[in-house]
Structure 1
């Protein structure tokens, strides 16, 4: 398969479109640049342009990623943090953007996930139901302390 060659300006425009379609982090844009076999100076120039023109904004990306993964997919903070770290987003930036998640929403979501999952488990003892539910909620990225608190609250409601 032969590669179509693009001019610098065509590549720049393709990367603008890539960023406009959806917020991206630096690592995603840099990976996309590999497709175009650019020299380091050209990559640098495009990256600076994308940032200067606000097509590429790591904080905006991080905030929209956090909102999306929590409000659409019900991921907990740990899973969101790990995925952002994998995308090369600095820990400090991740932590400063977690205010995108309302604390009440976080507790409500965790409670809802707990009850939905817990109520589906049939034919096992309470401690097994608890441990299966804990495992499930940990895999969704919720913090162990938060999960055990939800279980305590549920037991107190009985």
Structure 2
């Protein structure tokens, strides 16, 4: 088995900033993701906080923009519901007001349409003839994807 080379540690502010800018330019990042990556790269704590501050000033890092991009991606690509998206943002240590603001950017008609499509697709894969059991399985599935149980029941009743 090959030994992995130890990574070069970052010691200067300029090195940390350059690597972090590249890291943030690739895709939207939360402050915590950048902080964790800088620690992983071996930067000192005081360098980390200065670097994050410079990234914010340079608009490489923007929590609100990150939260909205996260919500959009998880809803449209992963087909997650609001509950699961909110949990994901909390894990990224995004503040509660920004989470609420980002979740408000979800179009309710589009959200319901995504849920309907998800339920229809799942319904085709379930081999259950009894309506009650089928609905139970669909509700469980939608809840596991982070959709609200009231909305799931409402969508199932309206079919």
TM-score by structure 2 length? 0.90
Alignment of 1:113 onto 2:137: no
Aligned pairs, number: 154
Q: 2:117 & 2:6 partners in 1: Cα distance?
A: 52
Q: Give 1:47's match in structure 2, choosing from 43, 48, 52.
A: 52
1:118 is displaced (CA, Å) by 1.8
Q: 2:137 & 2:9 partners in 1: Cα distance?
A: 53
Alignment of 1:128 onto 2:115: no
Q: Give 2:151's match in structure 1, choosing from 134, 142, 146.
A: 146
Q: Are the counterparts in 1 of residues 30 and 94 from structure 2 also a CA contact under 8 Å?
A: yes
Gaps of 5+ in 1: none
Q: Are the counterparts in 1 of residues 10 and 42 from structure 2 also a CA contact under 8 Å?
A: no
Gaps of 5+ in 2: none
Stretch of structure 1 that moved more, 68-77 or 1-10? 1-10
- For residues 86 and 5 of structure 1, do their structure 2 counterparts lie closer, same or farther at Cα, with a shift above 3 Å needed? closer
Q: 2:34 & 2:97 partners in 1: Cα distance?
A: 21
SS of alignment partner, residue 158 of structure 2: helix
The residue number in structure 2 matching 1:2 is 6
- For residues 121 and 6 of structure 1, do their structure 2 counterparts lie closer, same or farther at Cα, with a shift above 3 Å needed? closer
Q: CA RMSD in A?
A: 1.4
- For residues 126 and 13 of structure 1, do their structure 2 counterparts lie closer, same or farther at Cα, with a shift above 3 Å needed? same
Q: 2:129 & 2:108 partners in 1: Cα distance?
A: 32
1:11 is displaced (CA, Å) by 2.1
Runs of 4+ in 1 over 3 A off after TM superposition: none
